[in-house]
Structure 1
Amino acid sequence: MPVRMSESSAAGRGKGVGLGLAMVSAVAFGGSGVAAKPLIEAGLDPLHVVWLRVAGAALVMLPLAVRHRALLRRRPALLAGFGLLGVAGVQAFYFASISRIPVGVALLVEYLAPALVLGWVRFVQRRPVTPAAALGVVLAVGGLACVVEVWSGLSFDALGLLLALGAACCQVGYFVLSDQGSDSGAGAPDPLGVIAYGLLVGTSVLTVVARPWTMDWSVLGGTAYMNGTPVAAPLLLSWIVLVATVIAYVTGVVSVRRLSPQVAGVVACLEAVIATVLAWVLLGEHLSAPQLVGGAIVLAGAFIAQSSAPAKGSPEPVASGGPDRDLSTRSTLA
């Protein structure tokens, strides 16, 4: 019995750390828009901001890529898939979609990814999904609809909706690929190496799409304005690269390893809520009553899914208070 209590305590701590890392990742990702918007308003093209974000992060992570160069031989498909889907795909599809449909609609469609992750777990991996976890996803998506106020600008552009759905599918790839090898113990691919090479692959793809040689580089040496307050453009770019990309991806991938793709996917829905709150505080974009209610619903959905997700490798769904996760192998990955 004492051994059982010890294992339960360790599992609980591991799950708590994973949830905390997922929250940090959501906050980091959520802060990207607040820092990027002043740069865009100062004259940079949105795709150029995306390229700067990914290329800068790839440069920061380059020493880790050199250190984990064995991954190129051991897991080339994983590195290519993570770079194409988890880095370049999400960004490119999302920015293409908002050129045709309202941002709120594109964001809502993209954050259908947690529901798609549950579909992957249930029908591809053939693992059980608890009704409570499914309810958490429904609540999160419904709350997100309120946060982005989808009813205020709905436009049924078929191509735009397909592009946004492409971003959602790429986000599923991010969560699923982040989880690859988490049960392999010491043989699991190092998450930092995967991120480093994913950013390098993403930079290569986005270079072709964004064509940075056409960028107005002088904007980066000037000043941007955040709700009327002057901010140095290099400072905003540093935030986007170091916090909203490097820290966001590192904590996000490690959280998936400690939780599961579906749980981390639902917690990631908080990114939209956090982004809206930050825009309210820093950019003066005020929240309406439906947005506040929607934020509360997203939080409720994330909590329900987090406490009711199936254990990895378990043949039965795990409810809150049920059998513990086996985190013994994954605890070494962080």
Structure 2
Amino acid sequence: MHSSTPSPRRSARSLGLTLALVSAFAFGGSGTAAKPLIEAGLSPLHVVWLRVAGAALVLLPLAWRHRSALRQRPGVLTGFGLLAVAGVQACYFASIARIPVGVALLIEYLGPPLLLGYVKFVQRRPVSRGAAVGAAVAVGGLACVVEVWNGLSFDALGVLFALGAACCQVGYFVLADAGRQGERPIDPIAVSAFGLLIGAVVLTVLTRPWEADWGLLTGQVTMNGHRLPALLPAAWMVLVATVLAYLTGVVAVQHLSPPVAGVVANLEAVVATVLAWVLLGEHLGLPQLAGGALVLAGAFAAQTSKPAADPAPVPESPVPVPDPPVSLPESPAAAGPRPA
């Protein structure tokens, strides 16, 4: 009889996929929660600082609990904070100041194909065909979701910033995966907690939050014609779109391969578009619906593919070892006792 118990590898993959989906849905709600705060008078950069600094404060007890990780793997944690937290945000907002939002989003979400190239040509690890096909299909779908053809313009510096955001997104997946490797793997909670803390420090220098009017948070904001306390979308942005999103995302990368997790993360743009349609009343056209279906198809193709096997190591040619010279003892006494 065959056992119906799932293998540990399959169970880990299922858990990773579930967490990747939760992370994509959580990340996708950040823009919907941020828009009422921006319309109320906070600048986009100050909203980003509120998001990251608030999440860092929530995770501060967990960072203290895992403080030994900072001594064990300082490079991974610092890199995650600089790239996956501060770098993505700073580059993205610098890009949308010069090019349309849809174009910036599409370039930023070139991260998964760039990640495939990094894994294959830099790390020299195999990439499954399903992950490659899924990434290509998902990027095509994203072009429809963000309607990249509307207001298409070219600004070299804006495109450069958007590419910087894409490269920082690659850093998110690579460093999240690096945390579980090496002689001293670190808890993914430590990666998220210290990454957000370091990112908050960097963004504090860049955004100068003391210049913002934080009294707006005590009032009300408007979402799709409805008034609600400003603290409600702020809390959602901090607790769900940042704390939950980063915690589940990092764990997902460590259970899936980074390329597969990267393709599934493209669902974030679809979630953001659908939530904007439902909660903010923004129109969702036929091209966006078709693009969303393509992104889903790409994510499905990536996560159902079999993980690529590492190439078998080439056996080394055995080096012939000469037999040691046999020396005959001069006398039985010099040979010592004979073994029984």
Fold match (TM-score > 0.5): yes
2:14 & 2:34 partners in 1: Cα distance? 31
CA deviations on 1:164-217 (whole Å, 9 max, x unpaired) are 0000000000010000142458x4101111111111110110001110010011
Conserved 8 A contact 2:191-2:250: no
8 Å CA contact 2:25, 2:271 repeated in 1: yes
In 1, Cα distance between equivalents of 2:180 and 2:64: 22
Q: Secondary structure at the match of 2:115?
A: helix
Report the counterpart of residue 14 of structure 2 in structure 1: 16
Pairwise CA distance, 1:315: 2.1
Mapped partners of 2:268, 2:131: distance in 1: 19
Q: CA deviation at 1:71?
A: 1.3
TM-score, normalised relative to structure 2 = 0.89
Which of residues 234, 238, 261 is equivalent to 1:237? 234
| Unmatched 5+ stretches in structure 1 | 317-334
Query: Structure 1 residue 176 and structure 2 residue 174: aligned?
Result: yes
Larger of the two Rg values belongs to structure? 2
Structure 1 position 102 matched with structure 2 position 103: no
Q: Report deviation, 1:2.
A: 5.6
| CA shift digits 1:129-168 (9 cap, x unpaired) | 2333211111000000000000011110000000000000
Correspondence for 2:154 among 130, 153, 156: 156
The 1-side partners of 2:28 and 2:232 are apart by 17
Which residue number in structure 2 is paired with residue 36 of structure 1? 34
Distance in structure 2 (CA, Å) of the matches to 1:71 and 1:190 = 8
Matches within 5 A, 1:58-73: 58-73=56-71
Match of 1:314?
Answer: 310
* 1:117 Cα deviation after fit: 0.7
| Kept after mapping to 1: 8 A contact 2:218/2:231 | yes
Following TM superposition, by how much is the alpha carbon of 1:314 offset from its aligned partner in structure 2, in angstroms?
2.3
Q: Partner amino acid for 1:151? A: W
Q: TM-score, normalised by structure 1?
A: 0.90
Q: Secondary structure at the match of 2:283?
A: coil
Q: Distance in 2 between matches of 1:28 and 1:140?
A: 19
Is 1:129–1:309's contact at 8 Å kept on the other side of the alignment?
A: no
In terms of fraction of residues, the more helix-rich structure is 1
Q: 1:249 aligns with which of 246, 251, 264?
A: 246
Q: Deviation per CA, 1:38-83, whole angstroms, max 9, x where unpaired?
A: 0000000000000000000000000011111111211111111000
Aligned residues: 312
**Are 1:111 and 1:168, in contact at CA under 8 Å, matched by a contact in 2?**
yes
Q: 2:298 aligns with which of 277, 296, 301?
A: 301
1:56 corresponds to: 54
For the 8 Å contact 1:263–1:309, the answer to whether it is kept is no
> Retained in 1: the 8 A contact 2:32–2:280?
yes
